[in-house]
Amino acid sequence: MASYLQIENISKSYGHKVLFENIGFNINEGDKIALIAPNGTGKTSLMKILAGKDKSDSGGKIMFLKDIRIAFLEQDYPFDPQKTIFQQIMSSSTEFTRGLDQEHLWEYERRVVKFLSNFNLPDPDQLMKELSGGEVKRVALTQMLASEAEFFIMDEPTNHLDIDAIEFLEGYLSRSRCTLLMVTHDRYFLDRVCNIVMEMDRGAVYTYKGNYQNYLEKREERIANYNAETDKVRNILRRELEWIRSTPCARTGKARYRINAFYDLKDRASQVYTQKQVSMEGVKGSARLGTKIINCKDLSFFYGDKCYLDRFTYNFQRYEKVGIVGRNGAGKSTFLNILTGRFFDDDPGVLDGVIERGESLKIGYYHQSGMSFNPDETVLDIVNDTWLLNRFLFPHEMLNSKVGTLSGGERRRLYLLTILMQQPNLLILDEPTNDLDIVTLNILEEYLKEFAGSLIIVSHDRHFLDKLVDHLFVFCGDGVVKDFVGSYSEYREYIKEYEAEQRSQARAQEKAEKEKAAKEAAKTGACQAGAPAKKKKLTYKEQKELEQIEKDLEALALEKEELESQLGSGDLPFDRLQAASERIGVIMAETDEKEMRWLELTDGL
């Protein structure tokens, strides 16, 4: 099996902080690798080095197999806000379209339109500046997938995507024969797409074949073996220490190499593996929660002509944990802003209905956009509590670090701490899993399961929702919100069963109609049995209709042939390309209709 990527002796440091040092690994054709590590340990830095956006401090080697196509997905997709979606993709795809003949260029454009449709972006002429963060991510993914590269390198591909888009991407990558290296925190996505987990830990890289659960088990074995080896070294060190003490240093017979080995043993014996992870211990509990949380009656919200909420009525209960799901742009974040009173009289949206909040209500609102930190402020400036900061993996040497130097995950972790310190009794989390590492997510889940207050979560992380929520508000679009009691996985299973049942009923109805038509035809045939068949004679009007149909069919066939020739030329601009494709569809429908009528007229002639 061909090696697609070989890495040898690459390193990266920022100031005194060493992210990784002299690491190396190999990726073979067909490998689908999830790269995981705690925030701030260099995952994105490694991705940038591979993409040629940064350099290794130690030189080293990065060797891609010659002639394979490689596509990179960065966390932040650079785009021109004034370009349309289609223009943006085509202008950023020259690496893949350069040198293509017209036929293959048209095929690439067709794939772009197809993936945009799959990602629910049906209008390629929409301007990039009009898109949400999730829609921009879908544009970036379309550009990558349309390239049909042999090797995809992806940094957090599910960030900002709605669950429908995640499930499409998950299905595509799991079926694809591509080779893949990606950074992800989505545990379901990881398990369903990847066959190898690669861990960056303490500046080194470890590889585990299998799924995430297998990685956890094998990692524990590795750590246990390392610490067991440390215990053996300590036993040897004790014997050597006795020898050192019992033998005068001045004695010439004492072997210098044995003295040097003693100090090497001493250094190794001090290396005990302890796993650092976020601890919620010491974070104060929620404030007392009264019987009234938030009561909503006939809430409606319109922004221009678009309805985001249509006569929503619900009384939130004490200690309930509700998840909110739906496509990007369906109104989930808007709903949270309404609940928390972030819409004011001068807002361009129109809010109707009644909303009442309890007197003892204390809301902690974790925004999807994160907190606007002053980049020159230090970690200690933001949270003046060294003990809590240490529990949230900000050790003493990081306290004076400027916020601008922190990784995305570290800033998110700091922001989360500022929310929890407020002791809210209603915690609202809008996409809290973005940029957090998997270990932190596990700890956060355990904390939220025991949270002594009410919880509202907007999230695309299916594992996170399954672990925490009692029921779901499903935003269906056009202001419709449906309440589903159960976990997200149970909801998806219900939807699949419902859709399967609908298809089954449609097939059964179609079969029954065909059987009924067949029985009626048989009955008519039986009545006419034995009678001589009469040759059908067309009326003057039917004869003229038949002649016109034959002329129309000939004209439609010629038009279709001409349009197909234009499409194959590759010379059409996108608007005419789209119009020609739509016209061919109309021609095919008209042809089918006229052929059916021709058969009816000529039957029995």
Per-residue model confidence as pLDDT tens digits over 263-305:
666 666 666 666 656 666 666 666 677 788 999 999 999 988 8
Q: Which of 76, 57, 65 is nearest to 30 (CA)?
A: 65
Query: Which residues does residue 366 pair with via DSSP β-bridges, in sequence order?
Result: 429
Q: What is the mean pLDDT of residues 544-552?
A: 88
Q: Which of 488, 437, 492 is nearest to 467 (CA)?
A: 488
Query: Which residues does residue 23 pair with via DSSP β-bridges, in sequence order?
Result: 10
Q: Do domains 3-216 and 535-605 have the same CATH topology?
A: no
All residues at 6 or more sequence positions from 146 whose CB lies less than 8 Å from its CB, including other chains: 89, 93, 108, 111, 112, 114, 115
* pLDDT band at 237; cut points 50, 70, 90: low
Encode pLDDT of 428-476 as tens digits. 999 998 888 888 888 888 888 888 899 999 999 999 999 999 999 999 9
Which class in CATH covers the domain with range 3-216?
alpha beta
Q: Please give the residue that has the higher pLDDT: either 580 or 103.
A: 103
All residues at 6 or more sequence positions from 601 whose CB lies less than 8 Å from its CB, including other chains: 538, 542, 545, 546, 549
Q: Is the dihedral of CA 157, 161, 166, 169 positive or negative?
A: negative
Cα gap 221→227, rounded to integer Å: 10
The SS3 call for residue 72 is strand
H helix or E strand, kind and range, residue 372: none
Q: What is the mean pLDDT of residues 225-238?
A: 74
* The pTM of the whole model exceeds 0.85: no
- pLDDT value for 234: 72
Q: How big, in percent rounded to 5, are the helix, strand and coil portions of the chain?
A: 45, 20, 35
Residue 226: is its pLDDT beyond 80?
no
Cα gap 276→3, rounded to integer Å: 34
Cα gap 164→135, rounded to integer Å: 12
Domain assignments of the chain as residue spans, ordered by start: 3-216, 227-269, 294-486, 491-526, 535-605
Q: How far is CA 287 from CA 3, 17, 222, 355, 388, in A?
A: 57, 39, 42, 22, 19
Q: What is the CATH number of domain 535-605?
A: 1.10.287
Residue 84: is its pLDDT beyond 90?
yes
* Burial degree of 135 (CB within 10 A; 0-12, 13-18, 19+): buried
Q: Are strands 32-36 and 196-201 parallel, antiparallel or unpaired?
A: parallel
Residue 74: is its pLDDT beyond 80?
yes
Residue 252: is its pLDDT beyond 60?
no
Per the CB < 8 A criterion, the answer to whether 70 and 173 are in contact is: no
Q: Please give the residue that has the higher pLDDT: either 374 or 284.
A: 374
Task: Tell me the residue length of the chain.
Answer: 605
Q: How far is CA 541 from CA 100, 341, 360, 604, in A?
A: 54, 70, 82, 17
The CATH architecture to which 294-486 belongs is 3-Layer(aba) Sandwich (3.40)
* Burial degree of 42 (CB within 10 A; 0-12, 13-18, 19+): buried
Rounded mean pLDDT of the chain? 84
* pLDDT band at 29; cut points 50, 70, 90: very high
Least-confidence region, from 7-11, 15-19, 219-223, 342-346: 342-346
Residue 169: is its pLDDT beyond 90?
yes
Share of the chain above pLDDT 70, in %: 86
Encode pLDDT of 140-156 as tens digits. 999 999 999 999 999 99
Residue 528: is its pLDDT beyond 60?
no
Encode pLDDT of 470-514 as tens digits. 999 999 989 999 999 999 999 988 888 888 888 888 888 888 887
Q: What is the mean pLDDT of residues 547-556?
A: 89
Query: Which residues does residue 475 pair with via DSSP β-bridges, in sequence order?
Result: 326, 481
- pLDDT value for 316: 95
Q: Please give the residue that has the higher pLDDT: either 507 or 240.
A: 507
Cα gap 459→325, rounded to integer Å: 7
